[in-house]
Amino acid sequence: MSYLFTSESVSEGHPDKVSDQISDALLDEFLAFDPNSKVAIETLVTTGQVVLAGEVKSTTYVDVLEATRKVINEIGYTKAAYRFDGDSCGVLTAIHEQSPDINRGVDKADKMDQGAGDQGMMFGYACKETDDYMPLPLELSHRILMELAVVRREGKEMTYLRPDSKSQVTIEYNDDNSPKRVDTIVVSTQHDEFDADEPMLAKIKEDVINILMPRVIAQLPERVKALFGDDITYHVNPTGKFVIGGPHGDTGLTGRKIIVDTYGGKGAHGGGAFSGKDPSKVDRSAAYAARHIAKNLVAAGVADEILVQLAYAIGVAQPVGIFVNTYGTANVKLDDGQIAKKVKELFDLRPAAIEERLKLRKPIYRETAAYGHMGRTPATVTKTFDSPYFGKLEMEVELFTWEKLDFVDQIKASFGI
């Protein structure tokens, strides 16, 4: 019997994502001028106010106020009417030095013996539903909001748009777990108040269906376009008008959108958030490593769907456990335990080795903090950092290295594919 599965996404203007982007922008500033920085920064945003807290160990100094205001303005909170804007909001800082008790368990004389920055379990997932090996409901949810942000910034259509928005996509699946059709799409977008409630809401729904969605669908592969029929149920701003939004409408916190950040509820999640954490925290780096493993295994043909779990003890370099679940989709004559043993042979999963392999000591994190950390396109870009204390710094960095299919040949050779 067919079934329904749903995933959601939130925009860069959602208060929780504003917090994530500030935390990761500050992390990038520290890593740009001191790649060995240890950083764990949490951000709270509310009406007219930003609160920064956390622990840092670094040889550099960052103008956190200026960096915070820059992020807020770039997202689009630039008007006093929003009750939260980059130029006028207050920024309270409560960042202090990292505990030496934690640091002594992480730093070692031999860098490769570096211990995990915390205990916990991290998951990576991949499947063949999309070209980037991500679950389709989440990918579509992200794409809707990414295109909505493009429309907002162009300022030519839907000129009433404000930065805060959410999406949700429900897919009907066949018995064999393949996508059958798009069942329901939910879009809630913050907007200016430009008319009486009823005609205003009717106009927004009409624009989402007739302007936004055709732009989204046009970017999709043919097999995904075929899933969009005439029987889709649309819920657009289903609670009514959405004028009060962003941090004024809802307090935001770093790390509250971990399912949006990963796989939309598919696979599993270990519970650890990503943003604001340097890669010595395996909550982040090992989750990226697990995704890298899962994606390369599926791309190599080991299985059509794979979940990888890594588990660590604080201060210990080697993972305490590696688990693989192929959900019965394996294309090799090995059980999941045997596949996990091969993963251990193929991938060095010590935290320092992960940092080195995926180039995680670079300022690459601001780009991850909205529209998902997984399923993104790897790219090499030039980034510029301008410090009032250390001058201007320009560097070339690789984004989303954990999405590269650079282990496929090694996996195929190891598994005899």
- Determine if residue 241 is labeled as part of a ligand binding site: yes
- pLDDT tops 70 at residue 99: no
Give the Cα separation of 118 and 35 in Å (integer). 20
Q: Last residue of some domain: 187, 210, 244?
A: 244
Cβ–Cβ under 8 Å, residues 351 and 118: no
- Determine if residue 164 is labeled as part of a ligand binding site: yes
Longest dimension (CA), the chain: 67
Q: Identity (one letter) of the amino acid at 221? A: P
Look at 54-68, 102-116, 248-262 and tell me which has the smallest mean pLDDT: 102-116
Confidence of residue 109 (pLDDT cuts 50, 70, 90): low
Verify that 295 and 384 share a domain, yes or no. Answer: yes
Task: Calculate the alpha carbon distances from 43 to 68, 115, 179, 257 in Å.
Answer: 10, 26, 38, 13
- Determine if residue 142 is labeled as part of a ligand binding site: no
Verify that 398 and 306 share a domain, yes or no. Answer: yes
Confidence of residue 111 (pLDDT cuts 50, 70, 90): low
- Determine if residue 20 is labeled as part of a ligand binding site: no
Verify that 270 and 240 share a domain, yes or no. Answer: no
DSSP string, 367-390: GGSSS-SSSPPPEEEEEEEEETTT
Verify that 344 and 388 share a domain, yes or no. Answer: yes
Confidence of residue 380 (pLDDT cuts 50, 70, 90): very high
Cβ–Cβ under 8 Å, residues 290 and 123: yes
**Domain-located, residue 256:** no
Verify that 74 and 171 share a domain, yes or no. Answer: no
Domain count, the chain: 3
Residue 9 pLDDT: 98
Residue 306 pLDDT: 98
Provide the whole-model pTM: 0.95
- Determine if residue 108 is labeled as part of a ligand binding site: no
- Determine if residue 266 is labeled as part of a ligand binding site: no
- Determine if residue 165 is labeled as part of a ligand binding site: yes
Shortest CA distance to 54 belongs to which of 37, 72, 42?
Answer: 42
**Domain-located, residue 79:** yes
- pLDDT tops 60 at residue 104: no
Verify that 274 and 331 share a domain, yes or no. Answer: yes
- Determine if residue 412 is labeled as part of a ligand binding site: no
* Residue 32 structural domain: 16-106
Verify that 75 and 146 share a domain, yes or no. Answer: no
- pLDDT tops 60 at residue 29: yes
The pLDDT tens digits of the residues spanning 169-184 come to 999 999 999 999 999 9
- Determine if residue 28 is labeled as part of a ligand binding site: no
Shortest CA distance to 217 belongs to which of 136, 143, 308?
Answer: 143
- Determine if residue 114 is labeled as part of a ligand binding site: no
Cβ–Cβ under 8 Å, residues 115 and 318: no
Confidence of residue 168 (pLDDT cuts 50, 70, 90): very high
- pLDDT tops 70 at residue 342: yes
- pLDDT tops 90 at residue 106: no
Verify that 210 and 303 share a domain, yes or no. Answer: no
Q: Name the DSSP letter for residue 209.
A: I
Give the Cα separation of 305 and 353 in Å (integer). 26
Q: Name the DSSP letter for residue 403.
A: G
- Determine if residue 281 is labeled as part of a ligand binding site: yes
321, two tokens:
């456990």
**Domain-located, residue 320:** yes
Cβ–Cβ under 8 Å, residues 4 and 173: yes
Q: Name the DSSP letter for residue 254.
A: T
Residue 102 pLDDT: 55
- pLDDT tops 70 at residue 351: yes
- How far from the centroid of its chain's Cα atoms is residue 86's Cα? 23
- Determine if residue 367 is labeled as part of a ligand binding site: no
State the CATH number of the domain containing residue 72.
3.30.300.10
Verify that 145 and 81 share a domain, yes or no. Answer: no
Verify that 198 and 230 share a domain, yes or no. Answer: yes
- Determine if residue 309 is labeled as part of a ligand binding site: no
Mean pLDDT of the residues in the chain: 94
**Domain-located, residue 114:** no
DSSP string, 86-147: TTT-EEEEEEEEPPHHHHHHH--SSGGGPPBSS-EEEEEEEESSSTTS--HHHHHHHHHHHH
- Determine if residue 197 is labeled as part of a ligand binding site: no
H helices of 132-245, where?
Answer: 136-154, 197-207, 213-218, 222-225
- pLDDT tops 70 at residue 118: yes
- pLDDT tops 60 at residue 185: yes
- pLDDT tops 70 at residue 154: yes
The count of residues in the chain is 417
Give the Cα separation of 237 and 241 in Å (integer). 7
**Beta-sheet pairing, 252-253 with 38-46:** antiparallel
**Domain-located, residue 202:** yes
Residue 270 pLDDT: 95
Q: What is the mean pLDDT of residues 13-37?
A: 97
Give the Cα separation of 128 and 140 in Å (integer). 15
**Domain-located, residue 251:** no
Verify that 240 and 279 share a domain, yes or no. Answer: no
**Domain-located, residue 253:** no
Residue 390 pLDDT: 86
Residues 6+ apart with CB under 8 A from 65: 91, 93
- Determine if residue 398 is labeled as part of a ligand binding site: no
- Determine if residue 14 is labeled as part of a ligand binding site: yes
**Domain-located, residue 249:** no
Confidence of residue 81 (pLDDT cuts 50, 70, 90): confident
Verify that 196 and 311 share a domain, yes or no. Answer: no
Confidence of residue 230 (pLDDT cuts 50, 70, 90): very high
Residues 6+ apart with CB under 8 A from 39: 26, 27, 30, 31, 54, 55, 56, 57, 58, 276, 277, 278
